[in-house]
Structure formats: C-alpha cells, structure tokens
Structure 1
Amino acid sequence: MDEILLLNRWIHIGAGFVGFFMAPAALAVRKGGPAHRLWGRIFFWAMVVAGTTAIFSASVKGLSFLLLTGIFSLYLAWFGYRSLYHKHMGRGQQASIYDWIGVGLGLMVFGGTIVYGLVTRNVISLVFGSIGANFAVQQLRAFRRPGPWPTGQWLHNHISGFVGAYIAAVSAFSATSLTFIPWPWNFLWPTLVMVPPLVWVQRRYKAKFSQGQRPEQIVEVRLQKQA
C-alpha cells in the first residue's frame, strides 16, 4: 500500500503542476480560440487526475481536508466543462443525463458535507459544503427553469467553474505545503487574490450582454455536440 500511495502522490503532484500552469496559459490567449481550448482541455483533465488522486489518498489516510478539496475541485471543473454544452439551453436544448447525474451527486455529496460539518463542528466542511451545494442548487434550478437561459449564462458558468476549480487546487496546495504562512491565511489567500478579478470579469461581460452583445461577439464560440 505504501508503494501505491507513493505512486499516487507523484501522479497527484504531476497533475497539479500541469494544472497550475495550464490555467494561466488558457487565460492569457484569445478566449475560445484553438490555444485556449487546448490549454483548457489539458487543465480540465489535470484537475480530474489531481482531484481523483487526492480523494484516493485522503480516503486511505483519513484526511478530511484533502478529501473535501478533491471533491470540490472535481465538481467545479465538471461544472465549468459541462457549461460548454449549454449554449442553447431552453432554446430547443435540455439538460442531458450527464447533467442530472452530476447535479444529483453534487447535492448528495455537499449535503452530506454540510451535515458532517454541523455534527463535528468542522468549519472547513461547512464552507466547502455550503459553496458546493449552492452551485448544485443553482444548476438544478437552471435545468428546471422554463424558457431560454439569460444571454451568456453558459459563459459565466464556464468561467466560474474553471476559475473556482483552480482556486480550490491552489488553496489546497498552499494549505498543505506553504506552512510558513499562518493558518487560515495560507488557505484563504488564493480566494482573496483571485475572486476580485473573477467578479470584475463577470460584471464586465454581464454589462456587455445587457447592452445587447452576444457571446460570439466577445469570445470565439464553438458549438459542441450535445452530450
């Protein structure tokens, strides 16, 4: 088992290292362009590997913090990735079975995380569970809402999901490795640094959409086959 855990650790480190650099690379190029899609796809799969290996290691060692961050980053990465398939939601397009399964699992996992946090008085569990449950509930409401989604909603979800997954991954790395930073600042600084620019970008896009601009006028839009 020790050898398996060691191999799992190196795979986790490698995937996390790739993800740390791929996210800024995707943000630095034209949104929706070939390079953006390539770096974003690599980032997504890096987060899948990093999150899966974190969950495995945490389950074996009984590390609740690592387990929660692994689940949280995985869900946000899925949330951001699936949003690319929601460009015509409510206009002849409906949520697929993958969307319903993902939302259902999210509600169960994050609901259980909240209960665990309340029973054990674990603040981190309550924070992760509440944020994750909020994402899942909002997505569930969106899937059930009749009529078309607001203009650019899929783009907002895409940005929030991927940037959120990146913040969660950096927070986990900082909390477990940058021990020279006092707790809880070693866990919170990625959120404090990255959320304000995220909010600014979201508001900037929202203002453009309210002026009648379409997403394809702002970013390069590629239509994915529904899955």
Structure 2
Amino acid sequence: MTLVEDATLGVHILAGFAALFAGFGAIATKKGGRRHRRAGRVYVAGMTVVAVTSLVLFALAPTRGRTFLALVAVFSYYFVFSGDRVLSRKRPTDRPELVDWVAVGLLATAGVGLLAMGALRFLAGDSFATVMLVFGAAGAGFGVRDLAAFRRERAESREWFFEHIGRMGGGYIATVTAFSSVNFDFLPTVAAWLWPTVVGTPLVFLAIRKYKRGSPGAAASTAD
C-alpha cells in the first residue's frame, strides 16, 4: 500500500476502536444522561470517520474486496446516521429532509450491490456469498421500508425513540462485526462476520420491547 493508504487505514482503525468503546459506553449508561449523550456523539463521530475512510480506501484502489467493504460501510453507517437523524424528527409531523432521502437511496443502492455481488459469488461456489446476501437483503429491505415510512406520518409519538434504539443498535452490531471479522480468526470466516447479527438483533428487539412495555413518561425520560 502507498503512504496515503497506510495513513488512511491507520485513521480508520483508530476511529473503529473509538467507536467500539464509545458505543458500548452509550449502551451501558443511562439513556438521556450526559454520559450517554457524550458517548453517543463520540460513537457517531467515530463511525463517520470509519465510513469516510472506507470510501477513501476504495477510491484509492477499487479492488473487489474494497468494493465489498465500501458497500458494507454505506450499509453500516446508514443505521448510525439515521439513528442520529431521527432525534431531529421527534414530533409525528416532522418530515424527512433531502439528506434523509439521499441517505436511504444510498442504502438501497448498497443493498442491491451487495445482493449482486453475493449472487455472483454464490454461483462461483464461494461460501462468503452468504455474508454478502445477508447484508444485501438487509440493506435493500431497510431501504424499501424507510422509503415507505418517509411517505407517512408516524402514528406513535414515541416512535422516534424506538427507532433511535433500533438503528443505533444496528449500527453497533456493524461495529462489532468489523472488529470480529478482523480479529476473530479462530472462527470460520462466515461465522466471524455473521455472529454479531445473530446475537445482537434479538437483543435490540428485546430492548425495544422493554421500553414499549414501560410507561410513556418513563420511556420519554430516558430518551436523548
């Protein structure tokens, strides 16, 4: 790699570690508290740098591997971006802005790209196609879901809060996935990429259900 690529990769790794620890801090601290908000800001900033440096590395050398990682970066960052953006649309009448439409369009495009790559790798007999197809289906599915959601008003006044939990939870699953895929070499490759999704997704749903079962006042008091 060139000096520029080495430097970009170094920044990418440092930002990834910052996001990993800050994300855990946001999960572990009281929702809506100062520590939670501070950790959340660091997490969003770290993941922003991770996504940008992934795209820079792709631009510097658009190999097949970096194409996959760039698409995954768009897919992963969307959850963080939209989870943060939903905080600006707390009222049921608040509407998505142009940046939200652009973001969901990029997500859907990344999802289709991952599905296409996965289909080609599947036909070639590559087991890693499973990872591409899972992420691609999730990206395309969430893209279609959000495009539909943007066209209607939210019926639930606390929906933004549940969306925030779900999307940030999804973003943190992506953060753990990146760490696992690089460092958990004792696992089969496909398992190293997918176990955070298998384990984390039910936990996110359980967290959302916990707050939905609580009183509206309690949920609102813990929100950002």
User: Aligning the two structures, in what range does the TM-score lie when normalised by the shorter sequence?
Assistant: 0.7 to 0.9
Return the offset for 1:215: 6.3
CA deviations on 1:28-71 (whole Å, 9 max, x unpaired) are 22211222111101100100111221233245152144223322
d(CA) in 2 for partners of 1:214 and 1:55? Answer: 41
Aligned length: 215
d(CA) in 1 for partners of 2:220 and 2:71? Answer: 38
Unpaired runs of at least 5, structure 1: 222-227
What residue number does 2:126 align with?
A: none
d(CA) in 1 for partners of 2:137 and 2:154? Answer: 27
Q: Tell whether 2:34 aligns with 1:34.
A: yes
Q: Is the 8 A contact 1:76 1:164 kept in 2?
A: yes
What residue number does 1:224 align with?
A: none
Q: Is the 8 A contact 2:75 2:110 kept in 1?
A: no
Q: Tell whether 2:122 aligns with 1:144.
A: no
d(CA) in 2 for partners of 1:164 and 1:172? Answer: 13
Unpaired runs of at least 5, structure 2: 123-128
Counterpart of 2:30, as a letter, is: R
Change in Cα spacing, 1:16 to 1:143, as seen in structure 2 (3 Å) is same
Change in Cα spacing, 1:170 to 1:23, as seen in structure 2 (3 Å) is same
What residue number does 2:46 align with?
A: 46
Aligned pairs for 1:126-165 (under 5 A) are: 126-145=133-152, 147-165=153-171
d(CA) in 1 for partners of 2:51 and 2:35? Answer: 24
What residue number does 1:205 align with?
A: 211
Stretch of structure 1 that moved more, 95-104 or 191-200:
191-200
What residue number does 2:131 align with?
A: 124
Counterpart of 1:84, as a letter, is: L
What residue number does 1:188 align with?
A: 194
Tell me how large the CA RMSD over aligned residues is: 2.1
d(CA) in 1 for partners of 2:28 and 2:202? Answer: 17
Percent pairwise identity: 33
Normalising by structure 2, we get a TM-score of 0.86
Counterpart of 1:176, as a letter, is: V
Change in Cα spacing, 1:188 to 1:113, as seen in structure 2 (3 Å) is closer
